[in-house]
Amino acid sequence: MKALFINACMREKSRTLRLCSEYMKKYWDGKEVQEVALKESSLCPFNEQMLQQRDADISAGNLASSRYDAAREFADADEILIGAPFWDCSFPAILKVYLEHVCVNGITFGYGSDGAPIALCKAKKLIYITTVGGYMASPNSLELYLKELCAMFGIPEMQIYKAEGLDIKENDAEAIMREALERL
């Protein structure tokens, strides 16, 4: 099994990374794991020139370029773990940039002649782990966005694990983390 860990944790002592590490120990021990450390990434948001290049490559069926490595790695993974802190009602911007680079027609998804989407990813499961200083609304835009992506990519199962209320003075953050670890 090929597992892909998308690490969108920006802090060295990240609580989200702590949960992700425990998840990988519990479920991915002995499996081939590829980590994408986004804080070390040189990815940048798409601009007009990049979009034109991608559109031209897709039209020509020329998707072998290293520009599409992230999309190929994502499409080839059997299971995907995304670890990202909950920032400003979402996640760090670099994760959105990464996902823009993953969304490549002809690699992670496609369209049939009738216009219906065709899922091209192998993953059967996407796990999303986050930590939250306060509390997330339910439903929230993060969950809706991830569900839409999984549907487009053909990933049938998505699970979100979260530890909430970690920055509220009256809460015992360490107890919340222990509870979250037990739920993994």
Q: What's the chain's average pLDDT?
A: 95
Query: What pLDDT shows up at residue 117?
Result: 84
Which tokens in the block code for residue 181? 């670890």
Instruction: Encode pLDDT of 45-60 as tens digits.
Output: 999 999 999 999 999 9
CA distance 63 to 66: 8
Instruction: Provide CB contacts within 8 A for 47, sequence distance 6+.
Output: none
Instruction: Encode pLDDT of 81-90 as tens digits.
Output: 999 999 888 8
Beta bridge mates, 87:
90
Query: What pLDDT shows up at residue 78?
Result: 96
Instruction: Encode pLDDT of 153-183 as tens digits.
Output: 999 999 999 999 999 999 999 999 999 999 9
Mean pLDDT of 56-75: 96
Distances, alpha carbon 116 to alpha carbons 20, 41, 113, 144, in Å: 35, 33, 7, 20
**pTM value?**
0.94
User: In CATH, which of 3.40.50.360, 3.50.50.60, 3.40.50.300, 1.10.10.10 is domain 2-183?
Assistant: 3.40.50.360
Query: What pLDDT shows up at residue 83?
Result: 98
Instruction: Encode pLDDT of 7-39 as tens digits.
Output: 999 998 999 999 999 999 999 998 999 999 999
**Does 133 have pLDDT greater than 80?**
yes
Q: Is 176 helix (H, G, I), strand (E, B) or coil?
A: helix
Map out the domains of the chain as residue ranges. 2-183
